[in-house]
Structure 1
Amino acid sequence: MDTEIKIGVSACVLGETVRFDGGHKSSRFVTKELGQHFQFVPVCPEVESGMPVPRPTIRLVSNEERIALVETRDATKDHTDTMVNFSRQRVGRLQQEQLRGYVVCAKSPTCGMERVKVYGSNMAEKSGVGLYTQELMEQMPWLPIEEDGRLNDPILKENFVTRVFCLHDFYQTMDGEPTAGKIVSFHSRYKLTLMAHHPASYKELGKLVAKISDYSMDEFYPLYRVGLMAAMTHRASRKNNTNVLMHIQGYFKKVLDKNEKAELCRVIDDYRVGLLPLLAPLTLLKHHMQRFPDEYLQSQKFLNPYPQELRLRYAL
Structure 2
Amino acid sequence: MILKLKKGLIGIEKQQKNKMKFIKPKIIISKCLEFEACRYDGQIINNQYIEKLKKFIDFNPICPEVEIGMGIPRDTIRIIENKEKRMLYQPETNKDYSNNMDLFSKNYLKKIEDIDGFILKANSPSCGVNSAKIYPKKNDVPPYKRGNGFFANHIVSMFPNHPIEEEKRLNNSILREHFYTAIFTLADFKTVSNFNTLYKYHAKHKYLFMAHNQTLMRKMGNIAANKNNETIEKIKKKYYNSLLLLLSKKARYPSNINTQMHVMGYFKKLISAKEKKHFLETLGLYRNKRTPASAVNSILYSWIFRFENEYLMKQSFFNPFPYELIQKQESRFD
On the 8 A contact 1:112/1:130 being kept in 2, the answer is yes
* The one of 208, 220, 236 aligned to 2:235: 220
For 1:188 and 1:213, locate their aligned partners in 2 and report how far apart those are by CA, in whole Å: 21
On the 8 A contact 1:142/1:225 being kept in 2, the answer is no
For 1:139 and 1:221, locate their aligned partners in 2 and report how far apart those are by CA, in whole Å: 19
Residue 272 (1) aligns with residue 287 (2) = yes
Q: Please tell me the residue identity of whatever aligns with 1:218.
A: E
* The one of 42, 49, 63 aligned to 1:29: 49
Match of 1:314 in 2: 331
Shift of 1:120: 1.9
For 1:218 and 1:290, locate their aligned partners in 2 and report how far apart those are by CA, in whole Å: 37
Q: Please tell me the residue identity of whatever aligns with 2:65.
A: E
Shift of 1:65: 5.1
Residue 102 (1) aligns with residue 122 (2) = no
Residue 13 (1) aligns with residue 33 (2) = yes
Identity percentage over the alignment?
32
Match of 2:143 in 1: 124
* The one of 111, 114, 138 aligned to 1:93: 111
In structure 1, stretches of 5+ residues that fail to align are none
Match of 1:68 in 2: 87
Q: Please tell me the residue identity of whatever aligns with 1:161.
A: Y
For 2:302 and 2:22, locate their aligned partners in 1 and report how far apart those are by CA, in whole Å: 28
On the 8 A contact 2:106/2:154 being kept in 1, the answer is yes
Match of 2:186 in 1: 167
| Number of residue pairs the alignment of both structures matches | 308
Match of 1:195 in 2: 210
Map 1:29-48; keep pairs closer than 5 Å. Answer: 29-31=49-51, 33-48=52-67
Greater shift in the superposed pair: 58-67 or 249-258: 58-67
On the 8 A contact 1:62/1:68 being kept in 2, the answer is yes
Shift of 1:142: 5.1
Map 1:245-284; keep pairs closer than 5 Å. Answer: 245-284=260-299
For 1:4 and 1:302, locate their aligned partners in 2 and report how far apart those are by CA, in whole Å: 18
Q: Please tell me the residue identity of whatever aligns with 1:263.
A: H
Q: Please tell me the residue identity of whatever aligns with 2:231.
A: S
For 2:142 and 2:237, locate their aligned partners in 1 and report how far apart those are by CA, in whole Å: 40
On the 8 A contact 1:13/1:27 being kept in 2, the answer is yes
SS in 2 for 1:54: coil
Match of 2:306 in 1: 291
CA deviation profile, 1:250-280 (whole Å, cap 9, x unmatched): 1111111212211221222222223333222
For the aligned residue pairs, the C-alpha RMSD in angstroms reads 2.5
Q: Please tell me the residue identity of whatever aligns with 2:331.
A: Y
On the 8 A contact 2:23/2:188 being kept in 1, the answer is no
For 2:73 and 2:275, locate their aligned partners in 1 and report how far apart those are by CA, in whole Å: 64
Alpha carbons of 1:154 and 1:90: their partners in 2 closer, same or farther (altered >3 Å)? same
For 2:198 and 2:148, locate their aligned partners in 1 and report how far apart those are by CA, in whole Å: 33
Q: Please tell me the residue identity of whatever aligns with 2:28.
A: G
On the 8 A contact 1:278/1:314 being kept in 2, the answer is no
For 1:131 and 1:262, locate their aligned partners in 2 and report how far apart those are by CA, in whole Å: 55
Residue 111 (1) aligns with residue 130 (2) = no
TM-score, normalised relative to structure 2: 0.83
On the 8 A contact 2:226/2:235 being kept in 1, the answer is no
CA deviation profile, 1:278-311 (whole Å, cap 9, x unmatched): 2222222122112323343233210111111222
Q: Please tell me the residue identity of whatever aligns with 2:112.
A: L
SS in 2 for 1:196: helix
For 2:117 and 2:302, locate their aligned partners in 1 and report how far apart those are by CA, in whole Å: 32
More relative contact order, 1 or 2 (CA 8 Å, 6+ apart): 2
On the 8 A contact 2:285/2:291 being kept in 1, the answer is yes
For 1:212 and 1:65, locate their aligned partners in 2 and report how far apart those are by CA, in whole Å: 51
For 2:238 and 2:88, locate their aligned partners in 1 and report how far apart those are by CA, in whole Å: 33
Greater shift in the superposed pair: 61-70 or 140-149: 61-70
Shift of 1:146: 0.7
Residue 158 (1) aligns with residue 177 (2) = yes
TM-score, normalised relative to structure 1: 0.88
Residue 234 (1) aligns with residue 249 (2) = yes
Shift of 1:26: 2.1
For 1:131 and 1:272, locate their aligned partners in 2 and report how far apart those are by CA, in whole Å: 42
Residue 136 (1) aligns with residue 162 (2) = no
Alpha carbons of 1:2 and 1:298: their partners in 2 closer, same or farther (altered >3 Å)? closer
Shift of 1:70: 1.4
